[in-house]
Structure 1
Amino acid sequence: MNGRPIAVSAGAEGTVRFWKLPGFQPAAEPLNGTSAMFVELGDGPGVLTKGEYGARLWDLSTRKVVKRFLENTVFTLGDYGGVRALFASDGETVRVWNPATRALMRTLRTSGAYAMAVGRLRGRQILVAYEGEDSPLRIWDLASGRKIGREFYMDDEYATPEWMTIAEIGGRTLLLARSYLGIHQWDLAAQKDMGMLVSGNLESREDDNEDQEDYSTSALTTDRGRQVLALGQFTSDHQSLTKSVPASTFLWDPVRGRRLGTLKGHQGAVTALASGTLDGKPVLLSGSRDNTIRLWDVRARRQIGDPSPAGPIDGAEAAAFATIDGRPIVVTGEENGTVRTWDPATRRPAGKPMRGAPTSDLGGLTSLAATDLDGDPVAVIGRWPTDIRVWNLKTSTLLETLPVPSKPGDDGGLWQLVTVRQAAGPLVVATVGTAGGPRTFTWDLRTRRLTARFDLDPRGENWISDTLVSLVDGQAYVVAYNGGYRSHRLSRRVEIWDATGRRISAFTVSPLSGEKPDEEFQVYHMGRFGCRVAVLATSGSDSVRVLDPATGRDLTPPIDLGGEGSASARLLGVAEMGGHTIALTEVGVDDSRTSRVWDLTTRKPLSAPMKEVYWRAFAAGAPYLVSAGPEEQLLLWRLANAP
């Protein structure tokens, strides 16, 4: 672009980004899309993006869409008629387009083309098309539009090719195809199945074969005139949807079938690979679930420069806003307790990751809050069961671990914490599960001393199913409630306490019309809603209830979040911003759920529905709003009307 090399990336959160190489500085404003392919338009650069809107071919010089395609269209690039053509298949009909002129060059009627590769065989231009599940691959002569040679199959009826390419390797014209089984290869001239070049099937893996891996992406590159096959390793933690596991890119000699080297650095599965040249040298670009892109020197087997700016890599469980030297900073806490800071203006890390000493008996992060201590910004994080740590965000150093009193049998763990700003110094207020029921503790953050404690169930009635701690007008309040699903005479009971242990109110929330008394009831937030203090809750439907914290009565009609049928709603996070109550919501049935950012005050959604939002990080700091996105992504919003 503009005479400089760039990288194009796309993520599940729906953003296509452009990066200068090397260095990964932004090269252009992002576009919408979940996948992208660079396309040379002849007189300038172009990009093909895909998303819920279908597919669009963009002229990057003018930032205009020059051609549109239907949503399920399959694409590949290949030489045809002297140009680098764009092949587009709707399943059976393959159309060949000249990207420079947008002219249709060829129409090919096939028996099915759900994956494609274009190349040359004995001087003829050919297309290999995969016809679909339990169907063959066929070779088509692009000049005559006829099938040539015999059909051939994958090794397994469920092995769908996720990547195919035709290449001259070792003096033979080979088709390489990647499926969950590994890399298949066929000699197209000899019409011969060459078997598996690289195996990646977990079920058939031999214990003594260390070269067998799971692969999620692949690319062909060169090194000193010979072909090199790059394979991105797929890794995951089967106990967690969000936890990332380090992964590598393996370089293979496709002629001899042996591994040439390993490129290490990614902290999550390698999900995308692309090859190219930079300053005359072969390079690889790799994208990963750790939300970084890395540039590699293929010949030297080393990384070139730093990776691209990254998001959280281990499931950001919580988020907050802080201020460092007058600048707003996003603070995130990951499942493993790692704390990171981000500059929302540049979308880059604002400091070093903060990791505590590994402790085998510590569980996931439960809460995070930010405040100031003696003029320095600090983050207070809680990890299960009772680990509370205080980090200096300016120096990225651990200041202290707060002592949490416990007794034998106290296995409830740390539930939630908040920080309270006071003239004498900040306080930390937390709820902890104990053998006698939930208990609230308060610490003076300056002295690290425990200053107060009280039981939320002093009579031992075992009625509390959950608690939350909220800030209202700078004061901390604890809400204890029964979720309704526990068989108890105090079902749907709510009690509200201040941080000194004084009970403010107690009430029982009535079911909505048509709602069963034992429907699940959950409280998510207490704070300002417009000009009044309110408690936000859900009770088995797709609506949010706004309750009076003194009586439990509905202050407004329930807020419909747009679910269908028996859908239920959850609030993954709530924040107050500019007089508005903003929430990250989740609506659906069982595993079929979508998330969305809503302005509950105006009863309007602020984002499109999102799937695969596995965590609940959410925070506001004018004019920014940060929310969880699909997979490991953080979504940063700049609200136009924020103060």
Structure 2
Amino acid sequence: MPLDLTSLTEAGPALPHGALDGSWPPALLRAYLRALPRLVTLPGPERLEFLRATAAAEEPEALEALDSAEPGSAWTLAWETGEQPTAFHVCPARHDGPVWAVAVGDFAGRTFVASGGDDHVVRLRVVYDQSAPDLEGHSDQSWPNLESRSGPNFGVHSEPNLEGHSGLDLEGHTASVRALAFGVVDGRPILAGGDDGGTIRTWNPLTGASGFTRDLTGGYPTALTFVEAEGGRTLLAVAIGFYNRGYPEDYEDGRVDLLDPATGELVRALHAEERDAVLDLGVAKLGERTVLAALSPYELHVWDVTTGERLGTAELDDIWADMEEDGLTPPLLIGEANGRPEAGVVVRIEHPPGYTVQSRELVYLKLDDLRDKSRDRGFDRDEGPVAMTTHAGRNIMLVANHTDTGKEWERPAKAVIRHPGHKTDIDLDADTRLITTAAFGSLAGRLCLATGGLDGTVQVWDAQTPHQHRRIGYGGSGLALFTTAQGTPALAVGTHSDTVLLVDAADGKKIGSVGCRQSGRGHDCDISPYDHCCRGLTAGQVAGRPYIASSGCAAYGTMLWQPLSKIRGIARKDDAEGGRVTFGGLDHSSPTALAFGEVDGRALLAAGADVWDPVTQECVARLPRWGFALSESAFGRAGDQPVLATRRDGEVDLWNPLTGRRIRTLGVDDAGAGLAMGRIADRDVLAVGSGRYVHLWDAAAGERREWIPHTSTVTCLSLVEHDDRILLVTGTEDGTVTLWDAATSRRRAVLGAFARPVRSVAAATIRGKPHVYGQSHYGRVLAWRVDTV
């Protein structure tokens, strides 16, 4: 029997409370929960379309159920390649800046996640209804009616200022929020937050009502936790840290303040060594005694919370100082081994065995006897543990990258939930550039993990279901369409590994690859994988033949390839064996901005600030710009003259591509991306992604004609002609791929909703039907055949 999705399209603001009123297969429920932050903001008729787009991108098993419920979609998923769908997670909150603290709390049958960072705001969200069934259940499982419950509702205020709220933004901090913790005092939940200005604040997470505010003397809070003291009394423990890696002034010392969580009054101060900061805290039980462990740069201290007695101090090797250079606090990992509580600390390895890349290792200390130490596995320089918990008798640890290259196109961060001693790792596909903080918790009776990253995203993950990823590289790095010598439409896919894949654009089958060595392995130039391949990618026709230009190898500039030929590129006149032509600019960089064009019948290649003739290998023009500073480029026309458009930060310049003379400059929002030129309604138009809009400029007059609003920052766009109409395809930061009629600015279809930002889009007409291609930042590529435009 087809599913009845009437409630999804007809429900009003109560959508989260009443939508799940039938027997929904698990894949469809997962798609619904992934899409929920957007569904609650959309009008009813658009919800099913977005749910279908989410299923196509992340839960393809749900498409069959959706097709049976609502046949006749405007598009069909043609094929997919690259990475598999991401591990199940939801994104309840985003911040304007890096996130440095997250906490998970379970109250009143709901799971709350709190997050804070450089925007000074604590975002409090309800993830979804705790009574939701096991997501790994069978397809014939009956899902209960959630109408009378709190529902899977986050991201909106369904009932502001009431205990049924689904999300609050808690303001009051005036500096970066560095620590958060949930607790329960006298049966009432409390959320505590601390900022690097030295202020502690508390709230009631059910109502958002403020509690106390306290300004610390000396230092700032690096960690918060609630601990049980004498007589069942609960106290708020505050770790005091200092700038410049924990060296206070002469009159200060490292300490842990124990505060009354109701009033903020100081109950007791636990002092560490003189002039020693406290970096992180952990709570454990030794028999009937509650102990508090505190990590400093060179010691681990353990106190009895009730008496304030220091039970011991263990000297450590230097902890992971490199983490603090990235602004992270070295974690103190509290778990159990054979029923004994232990603390895990990451320390330096002065001389790694065999001189491997490992330079850190994990040391465990038994809290009941700090002399009992054991060493665990080593970690590479770029990775290490972020958080740990004990669940079902097992220690479960999050291991993530700790190196941020600052290169937006790479997003190299990876994260794995690891069960020490077991082979059940869960690859989180955490494409957030860098995970800065994490906390384990309970969600729908299952173990969950909340993470925060440098890109401002907060994500809540299923931390129990194994998910191994089939990786083809370090993430998506661009798409480019071309036509083979036989007239077959093909798609070049940049992978961030060492190869540009070539696939049939109609069915997605691999037909070849190109790479910077004759072996075809790609941009494998014996340098770090985070510094190469494939930074820029474009395709075009030169002298009637297809060509691909790619960049990424710092030593090789831009390379020109002839795909699917006996040689993998075009050899230089003086390098018959090289198999490529390399264009290097004055700055010898590998530019991001690459574009093919044609001016007066002459094929040109724009590579950064240089314009080349790819046939003669002559530099035609050189723009007065540093090539590496240009992010995008596109050829087109502005009235009666050919132009080259380039983008740099908050401006788009139009140039004469034959002389390098600048024609005009247009101001855009530097938060967005996407650049294309075409002819719309008898006008030469420049399309620019500018923040949450696509601006359409009259290229000849230099006037902005239209703007198309989006729900998230535009990250890429493409124009394609179909049946004398111009279609616009856009990708956004929230993962949405959308098709528009460029002449009317009307949205035609939402095609996909990735769990990651969209890296690149492309479009072409194949066999009379528009085909749209989208690539997420993590490398997953989907192709949609649009049947109704």
Query: 1:168 and 2:288 equivalent?
Result: no
Instruction: Give the conservation status (yes or no) of the 8 Å contact 1:482–1:493.
Output: no
Q: What amino acid sits opposite 2:228 in the alignment?
A: R
Query: 1:46 and 2:146 equivalent?
Result: no
Instruction: Give the conservation status (yes or no) of the 8 Å contact 1:311–1:633.
Output: no
> 2:129 aligned to 36, 44, 59, which one?
59
Which residue of structure 2 lines up, in the alignment, with residue 384 of structure 1?
Answer: 554
Instruction: Give the conservation status (yes or no) of the 8 Å contact 1:180–1:214.
Output: no
> 1:509 aligned to 647, 656, 663, which one?
663
Structure 1 pair 625/180, CA: closer, same or farther in 2 (3 Å)? farther
Q: 2:401 and 2:625 mapped to 1: Cα distance?
A: 42
> 1:295 aligned to 417, 420, 424, which one?
417
Instruction: Give the conservation status (yes or no) of the 8 Å contact 1:274–1:286.
Output: no
Which residue of structure 1 lines up, in the alignment, with residue 656 of structure 2?
Answer: 495
State the shift of 1:633 in Å.
11
Structure 1 pair 49/453, CA: closer, same or farther in 2 (3 Å)? same
Instruction: Give the conservation status (yes or no) of the 8 Å contact 1:177–1:184.
Output: yes
Q: 2:779 and 2:190 mapped to 1: Cα distance?
A: 31
State the shift of 1:222 in Å.
0.8
Instruction: Give the conservation status (yes or no) of the 8 Å contact 2:539–2:596.
Output: yes
Instruction: Give the conservation status (yes or no) of the 8 Å contact 2:256–2:278.
Output: no
Q: What amino acid sits opposite 2:478 in the alignment?
A: A
Q: Secondary structure at the match of 2:702?
A: coil
Which residue of structure 2 lines up, in the alignment, with residue 456 of structure 1?
Answer: 620
State the shift of 1:253 in Å.
1.1
1:186-585 to 2 correspondences below 5 Å: 186-189=303-306, 191-192=308-309, 198=316, 216-231=330-345, 250-255=362-367, 256=370, 260-263=374-377, 268-270=382-384, 272-278=386-392, 280-288=393-401, 290-298=412-420, 300=421, 303-305=423-425, 307-311=427-431, 318-320=477-479, 331-334=493-496, 356-359=523-526, 364-365=532-533, 366-369=535-538, 380-386=550-556, 402-404=579-581, 412-413=588-589, 415=591, 417-418=594-595, 430-431=605-606, 438=610, 440-442=612-614, 451-457=615-621, 470=634, 479=644, 494-497=655-658, 508-509=662-663, 525=675, 527-528=677-678, 530-531=680-681, 532-534=683-685, 546=697, 548=699, 553-556=701-704, 575-576=718-719, 579-580=727-728
State the shift of 1:580 in Å.
3.3
State the shift of 1:320 in Å.
1.9
Which residue of structure 1 lines up, in the alignment, with residue 159 of structure 2?
Answer: none
Q: What amino acid sits opposite 2:556 in the alignment?
A: T
State the shift of 1:383 in Å.
2.7
Instruction: Give the conservation status (yes or no) of the 8 Å contact 1:318–1:616.
Output: no
- What 5-or-longer segments of structure 1 have no aligned partner? 8-13, 206-212, 236-244, 343-350, 422-426, 443-450, 484-491, 498-502, 516-522, 562-569, 586-596, 606-614
Q: 1:321 and 1:482 mapped to 2: Cα distance?
A: 19
Deviations 1:16-60 (A, max 9, x none): x999xxx997556553356764444465x6242447683123424
Which residue of structure 2 lines up, in the alignment, with residue 88 of structure 1?
Answer: 191
Q: What amino acid sits opposite 1:89 in the alignment?
A: A
Structure 1 pair 169/107, CA: closer, same or farther in 2 (3 Å)? farther
Query: 1:32 and 2:135 equivalent?
Result: no
Query: 1:151 and 2:294 equivalent?
Result: no
* Identity percentage of aligned residues: 10
Instruction: Give the conservation status (yes or no) of the 8 Å contact 1:431–1:439.
Output: yes
Q: Secondary structure at the match of 1:579?
A: strand
Q: What amino acid sits opposite 1:88 in the alignment?
A: L
Query: 1:139 and 2:258 equivalent?
Result: yes
Q: Secondary structure at the match of 1:191?
A: coil
State the shift of 1:224 in Å.
0.7
Report the number of matched residues. 503
Q: 1:598 and 1:178 mapped to 2: Cα distance?
A: 53
State the shift of 1:386 in Å.
2.7
Q: What amino acid sits opposite 1:358 in the alignment?
A: C
Structure 1 pair 188/339, CA: closer, same or farther in 2 (3 Å)? farther
Q: 2:557 and 2:664 mapped to 1: Cα distance?
A: 37
- Larger helix proportion of the pair: 2
Instruction: Give the conservation status (yes or no) of the 8 Å contact 1:414–1:430.
Output: no
Q: Secondary structure at the match of 2:234?
A: strand
Structure 1 pair 77/361, CA: closer, same or farther in 2 (3 Å)? closer
Q: 1:601 and 1:179 mapped to 2: Cα distance?
A: 62
Q: 1:24 and 1:253 mapped to 2: Cα distance?
A: 39
State the shift of 1:338 in Å.
6.9
Q: 2:315 and 2:303 mapped to 1: Cα distance?
A: 10
> 1:129 aligned to 218, 226, 237, which one?
237
- What 5-or-longer segments of structure 2 have no aligned partner? 1-23, 31-36, 39-53, 60-83, 96-100, 133-150, 155-163, 173-178, 194-198, 242-251, 350-356, 403-411, 434-472, 483-487, 504-511, 516-520, 570-577, 668-672, 721-725, 748-756, 764-770
Q: 1:176 and 1:159 mapped to 2: Cα distance?
A: 13
- Structure-2-length-normalised TM-score: 0.46
State the shift of 1:252 in Å.
1.7
- Structure-1-length-normalised TM-score: 0.54
Instruction: Give the conservation status (yes or no) of the 8 Å contact 2:319–2:347.
Output: no
Q: 1:368 and 1:77 mapped to 2: Cα distance?
A: 47
Q: 1:338 and 1:234 mapped to 2: Cα distance?
A: 35
Structure 1 pair 257/131, CA: closer, same or farther in 2 (3 Å)? closer
Q: Greater RCO between the two (CA within 8 Å, min separation 6)? A: 2
Structure 1 pair 581/322, CA: closer, same or farther in 2 (3 Å)? closer
Instruction: Give the conservation status (yes or no) of the 8 Å contact 2:335–2:390.
Output: yes
Structure 1 pair 528/620, CA: closer, same or farther in 2 (3 Å)? same
Q: 1:28 and 1:571 mapped to 2: Cα distance?
A: 22
Q: What amino acid sits opposite 1:579 in the alignment?
A: L
Q: 1:482 and 1:226 mapped to 2: Cα distance?
A: 59
Q: 2:320 and 2:427 mapped to 1: Cα distance?
A: 30
Structure 1 pair 418/543, CA: closer, same or farther in 2 (3 Å)? closer
Q: 2:85 and 2:707 mapped to 1: Cα distance?
A: 43
Q: 2:274 and 2:389 mapped to 1: Cα distance?
A: 29
Q: Which moved more, 1:410-419 or 1:117-126?
A: 410-419
Deviations 1:577-614 (A, max 9, x none): 663375989xxxxxxxxxxx999999999xxxxxxxxx
Instruction: Give the conservation status (yes or no) of the 8 Å contact 1:272–1:286.
Output: yes
1:626-637 to 2 correspondences below 5 Å: none
